[in-house]
């Protein structure tokens, strides 16, 4: 997210007033500028206040690590992804699916991973839908038909849990 100095100043003004979207946007601006300490600061601030996009961003920080600031920690990444997932943040759901499929921070569980991915693949408003549809086809090569059915059934349960914010 490219921003002019004036835009950054306005975001800072709003962020210091507690505007969570401005804090998230500052995290993105500083990330794009490779100013990772400031990016992590603003994402963490918004994430700790419950902003789903920043919670997902913190999950990414812990999944991949941030040079000199955060060492990769899959369990912590999963914690942040779950917080954002409970707010129906689609990228967090996709990233959490990946964690289950790879056994990163959670035990490997193809049914759970499939169920999470299935939710996003069937959300026609999600920008991640095409990617998830591809992922489902790949996952299905590892599953038998009854496991695919179980994954689809699990997606219904997961969706109920997300709506209740208890996933």
- 32, 117, 132 from 13: Cα distances, Å: 20, 38, 38
- pLDDT for the residue 136: 96
Per the CB < 8 A criterion, the answer to whether 128 and 89 are in contact is no
Per the CB < 8 A criterion, the answer to whether 94 and 84 are in contact is no
List the one residue out of 22, 31, 37 whose CA is nearest residue 57.
Answer: 31
Q: Does residue 24 have a pLDDT over 80?
A: yes
Per the CB < 8 A criterion, the answer to whether 80 and 59 are in contact is yes
Predicted TM-score (pTM) above 0.85 = yes
Q: What is the pLDDT of residues 109-159, one digit of tens each?
A: 999 999 999 999 998 888 999 999 999 999 999 999 999 999 999 999 999
66 phi, psi to nearest 5 deg: -130, 115
Q: What is the pLDDT of residues 123-133, one digit of tens each?
A: 888 899 999 99
Per the CB < 8 A criterion, the answer to whether 9 and 26 are in contact is no
What 63-66 contacts at long range (C-beta under 8 Å, 24+ apart), as own/partner pairs, is: 63/95, 63/99, 63/104, 66/36, 66/39, 66/40
For residue 51, give both structure tokens.
């902003």
């Amino acid at each position: 997210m490219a921003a002019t100095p004036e835009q950054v100043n306005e975001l800072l003004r709003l962020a210091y007033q507690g505007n969570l979207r401005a804090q998230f946007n500052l995290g993105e601006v500083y990330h794009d500028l490779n100013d990772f300490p400031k990016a992590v600061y603003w994402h963490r601030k918004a994430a700790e206040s419950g902003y789903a996009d920043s919670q997902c961003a913190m999950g990414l920080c812990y999944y991949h690590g941030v040079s000199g600031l955060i060492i990769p920690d899959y369990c912590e990444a999963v914690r942040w992804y779950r917080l954002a997932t409970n707010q129906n943040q689609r990228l967090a759901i996709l990233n959490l699916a990946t964690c289950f499929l790879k056994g990163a921070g959670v035990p490997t569980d193809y049914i759970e991973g499939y169920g999470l991915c299935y939710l996003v693949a069937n959300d026609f408003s999600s920008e991640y839908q095409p990617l998830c549809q591809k992922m489902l086809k790949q996952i299905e090569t590892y599953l038998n038909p009854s496991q695919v059915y179980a994954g689809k059934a699990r997606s219904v349960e997961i969706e109920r849990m997300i709506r209740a914010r208890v996933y």
